[in-house]
Amino acid sequence: MMHALRLLLGRVTGIAFAILAIATINFVLVHSAPGDPALVIAGQSGATDAKFIEQVRADYGLDRPYLVQLGTYLGKVVQLDLGYSYRQRRAVSELILERLGPTLLLTLSAFVLSLVGGVLFGALAGRRHGSWSDLTISMMALLFYATPVFWLGLMLVLVFSIQLEWLPAFGYSNMRSGTFGTFDQAVDVARHLVLPAVTLSAIYMAVYTRLMRSSLIEVQHEDHVRTARAKGLTEAAILRHHMLRNAAVPVITFAGLQAGALIGGAVVVETVFAWPGLGRLTFEAVTARDYPVLLGLFLVTSILVIAVNLLTDLLHRLIDPRVVTR
C-alpha cells in the first residue's frame, strides 16, 4: 500500500513538473517572437487596440524582470487562466472546453479502429508470411504509412461524398438539436464521423499492421508455440491462444504512446472535414493569428496526452502483472 502511494506521489510530481515545463516552453516562445511580447499575447486582432495592449502589459507584468514575468505566467496557468482571445471575445479556456468533446470522439474512434484493424491485418499478413496476402497487406501498409493524412481525407471525400454520395463530406451533424430524437442525432453524427475517423486511423493502422506482422512472425518460432503444436492443438487454437496474445503486447504498448501524434493528426483531419473540435479551433486560430488560443491549445493538448499516458500505464500494470512497479 505504502509502495503504491509513493508511486502515485512520484507520478503526480512528475506530471506537475511536465506541465510547468510545457508552460515554460510557451513563455519562452512568446518572448522569442520578433517584436513586442504584448502583441503576441494579444493576438493579431487584439494588437490594434492600444487599451487592450496596455491591459495585457499590466496583466502579465511585462515591464518587470523576466523571472517575475515567468512566475506571473505560471501562476495564471495554475489557476487555469489561459488568457483571452480578443478576436473571439471570450476566455481561451472556455473556447477550448467547448471543443473538447468532438475531438475526444474523433481520436478515440480512430484509435480503436486503427488498433483493431492493425492487429487484424497484421495477423493476417504474419500468419501467411511470404504469401500473396502478406505481400498485398505489406504494400498497402507501406503506402498508407507514406500518405499525407489531409490528402487521404480529401481523396475519401472525392470518392465517397462527391462521386458515390454515400457519406457527408464535412461537418458534425446536419440536425439541429431538439428537433430530432436522440437516436436519429446519434446516427447522423456517426455518419459524419466515418470519413474523418477512417482518415485519421489509416496511418496508425499501417504502423500497427507492420508491428503486429513482425511480432507474430517472431512469436511463431518460440518454444511455447512449438510445444502447443507438439501437443497436437489445431493451428487455429495455437494462433488464438498462444500467438495472438503475445504478439499483440508490443502493439498495444506502442499504441499507448501514440496519443500525442494522434492529437496532431486530428488537427489536420478536423481542418479537412470541418469537424468542430480542437483541431478546427487550431486552424481558425492559425488563420486569424490568434496566439493566445494557440498557446492555450498546446498546453491543454499536452496535458491531455500526459493524462492518457498515465491512464495507459496504469491499465498496463493491471493487465500485465510482469510490469515492474518502479
Distance CA 164, CA 217 (A): 39
Q: What angle do CA 266, 98, 78 make, to 5 degrees?
A: 95
Q: Of the candidates 144, 98, 95, 117, which has an alpha carbon nearest to the alpha carbon of residue 265?
A: 144
Least Å from the CB of residue 159 to other proteins:
10
Torsion of CA 235, 241, 247, 251, to 10 degrees: 130
| Cβ 180 to other proteins shortest distance, Å | 27
Nearest C-alpha neighbor of 250 from the set 130, 122, 134: 122
Nearest-approach distance from CB 174 to other proteins, in angstroms = 18
Calpha distance 71→287 (Å, rounded):
30
- In angstroms, give the least distance from the CB of 25 to other proteins: 8
Please give the Cα distance from 220 to 208 (Å, whole number).
18
Return the number of the residue (38 or 295) whose C-beta is nearest other proteins: 295
| For other proteins, the closer CB: 97 or 116 | 97
Least gap, CB of 306 to other proteins (angstroms) = 6
159 vs 190, which CB is nearer to other proteins? 159
DSSP-assigned letters across all residues of 121-146: HHHHHHHTTTSHHHHHHHHHHHHHHT
Side-chain-side CA neighbours of 209 within 13 Å: the count stands at: 26
Q: Considering beta carbons, is residue 12 or 237 the nearer one to other proteins?
A: 12
**DSSP string across 237-276:** HIIIIIIIHHHHHHHHHHHHTTHHHHHHHHHHHHHHHT-T
C-beta closer to other proteins: residue 98 or 187? 98
Q: How far is the CB of 146 from other proteins (least distance, A)?
A: 4
Closest contact distance (angstroms) between CB of 287 and other proteins is: 6
As a whole number of angstroms, the distance between CA 119 and CA 326 comes to 29
The residues binding other proteins (CB under 8 A) are 18, 21-22, 25-26, 29-30, 32-34, 40, 129, 142-143, 145-151, 154-155, 157-158, 162, 214, 217-218, 257, 259-261, 263-265, 267-268, 271-272, 282-283, 286-287, 289, 291, 294-295, 297-298, 301-302, 305-306, 309
Contacts of 17 (CB under 8 A, 6+ apart): none
Which candidate, 265, 267, 257, places its Cα nearest to that of 297? 267
List beta partners, residue 90.
85
* Rounded distance between C-alpha atoms, residue 49 and residue 38, angstroms: 11
Rank residues 109 and 301 by Cβ distance to other proteins and give the closer one: 301
Smallest gap from Cβ 33 to other proteins, in A, equals 5
CB of 184 to other proteins, least distance (A): 27
**Residue showing cell 487550431:** 282
